[in-house]
Structure 1
Amino acid sequence: MSRPSATLRTAVVWDVLRGALDQRAELSGRTELDVLDTGGGTGNFAVPVARLGHRVTVVDPSPNALFALERRVAEAGVAERVRGVQGDVRGLFDVAERGGYDVVLCHGVLEYVDDPAEGLGNTVAALRPEGGTLSVLASGLGGAVLARALAGHFTEARHALTSPGGRWGESDPMPRRFTPEQLTALVTGTGLEVISVHGVRVFADLVPGALVDTEPDALEALARLEATAAELPDFQSVASQLHVLAEVPPGVAPGTPG
């Protein structure tokens, strides 16, 4: 069964992130921000951020992803604004500058690191101490439980619901999932102030693509539904992904030593 497009599935995150970039630029008095994209891969967010006129450093452990990033930024005409370096959040300051970024993206990273608190602490320590914005995107527990149950895998759904890491079994490709409370606690534990929490892909992963393709205006209507549900806590708890936006409070040194 096909699913709605990837653009729809990331629209909520991009809308929040674009607004945060605009606000950070206004607060800093600079139109060109320095953005760090940890685990940025092939540039799904780095390219549109660069198109807004910002400088982006992408850190990713995969050479293949960075090679694809290089091609992609060249095709998009933003090669001078995007730099890709091989690395990960554990050794982040081997390849990135501590306290040197206005905005840091930590998307699809915390599910895979051995110690999410340590990894998040490093990403936060990359923010400028005088003010910065963090964008965290991670897999949601509730969405996985709901998806397994709707597929008829009730034992796996219960296992995900009760296991410490939110995995539905040994063959589950996702090492870890989070509830909204767990993810926000990780973020506030670094000293940042949570600005907003959104559920991502509340419905998009469950709706058959054929339905969206055949029904007039269905894609637009689904996008509006996702945007509305994203802000409601009841729906955040069953989202496939969770997005947390946070900022450095005045007078607080962000992050922990890496």
Structure 2
Amino acid sequence: MPSESRARAAAAPLPGPHAALRAGVVWEVLRAALVRRAEAAGRQALDVLDTGGGSGSFAVPVAGLGHRVTVVDPSPDALFALERRAAEEGVADRVTGVQGDTHDLLDVAGRERYDLVLCHGVLEHVDDPAAALRAVAGALRPAGGTVSLLVAGAGGAVLSRALAGRFTEARQVLADPAGRWGEGDPVPHRFTVERLAELVGAAGLVPGEVQGVGIFADLVPGSLMDAEPAALQALTSLEAEAAALPAFQAIAGRLHLLAGLPGDQ
């Protein structure tokens, strides 16, 4: 199986309005979670860990809110880009890059040190998602913390394969416990809300708020948004309204779930 960094790169969405829309949907939930976590901790500045954080698409904005962020990523190139990005945004003193992955996460980042852990685009690319999530949970402060998970959704893959006329592959996603459409699928794991909640529970965490991400955005051609200036805003509003509805989460390209320690909900 390919390494985490190479697998994520192979499956990463192309930049553009679709990617910005997906990030925006997650960011709004994440920003609210940071406020709640800071209030619960009684501190303005939190310690945040971003595992698989790459060049800092979330880490740098989080640091911009005044929090201290440690990014763990296996790619030296990504960490170099992170350093440059943090410097350009004036938050270099609040962002630390460390080379590593989920296998040695607690060795390189520390155990029980963080108020919030971001695990975005990681679980679908590791050999053992359950072990990876246990490591993520181990990084949380025992006094209370939040995990933000962003994973590939199985339902979205079924829908996209079917709309592309690849009906056999769509059926394979439905039948495969890992949610893959075949040997050529670059994503080793996809998740339903139920499977993700089971993983969270097995890691000793309590699942909380869930959102569907990329419900419609992954299906709308970019040419439409280029031709209609108001289309992106309208699509953003539609995504936000549908994100919390279970019926639409079931067909989302990605699932975003917040989880916490027992007794800390």
Q: 1:182 and 1:122, CA in 2 relative to 1: closer, same or farther beyond 3 A?
A: same
Tell me the residue number matched to 1:161: 174
Tell me the residue number matched to 1:125: 138
Q: Is the 8 A contact 1:3 1:208 kept in 2?
A: no
- Where does the alignment leave 5 or more consecutive residues of structure 2 unmatched? 1-13
Find the aligned partners of 2:178 and 2:264 in 1 and give their Cα distance: 34
Please give the secondary structure, in 1, of the residue aligned with 2:133.
helix
Tell me the residue number matched to 2:192: 179
Tell me the residue number matched to 1:35: 48
After the TM superposition, list the runs of 4 or more consecutive aligned residues in structure 1 that deviate by more than 3 angstroms: 1-5
Q: Is the 8 A contact 2:145 2:264 kept in 1?
A: no
- The normalised TM-score by structure 2 is 0.91
2:148 to 118, 135, 150: 135
Find the aligned partners of 2:139 and 2:227 in 1 and give their Cα distance: 46
Tell me the residue number matched to 1:12: 25
Find the aligned partners of 2:78 and 2:172 in 1 and give their Cα distance: 32
Aligned partner letter, 1:173: P
Q: Which structure would you say has the larger RCO, counting Cα contacts within 8 Å and 6 or more residues apart?
A: 1
Cα deviation code 1:154-175 (max 9, x no counterpart): 1111111211211111111111
Indicate yes or no: 2:63 matched with 1:50: yes
Find the aligned partners of 2:15 and 2:228 in 1 and give their Cα distance: 15
Cα deviation code 1:104-123 (max 9, x no counterpart): 01111111111111110110
Deviation, 1:97, is 1.3
Find the aligned partners of 2:17 and 2:166 in 1 and give their Cα distance: 23
Indicate yes or no: 2:135 matched with 1:116: no
Aligned partner letter, 1:212: M
Q: What is the aligned residue count? A: 252
Q: 1:57 and 1:169, CA in 2 relative to 1: closer, same or farther beyond 3 A?
A: same
Find the aligned partners of 2:264 and 2:22 in 1 and give their Cα distance: 36
Q: Where is the helix percentage greater, Structure 1 or Structure 2? A: 2
1:232 to 245, 252, 255: 245
Aligned partner letter, 1:237: A
Tell me the residue number matched to 2:82: 69
Find the aligned partners of 1:12 and 1:195 in 2 and give their Cα distance: 17
Q: 1:43 and 1:178, CA in 2 relative to 1: closer, same or farther beyond 3 A?
A: same
Please give the secondary structure, in 1, of the residue aligned with 2:209.
strand
- The normalised TM-score by structure 1 is 0.94
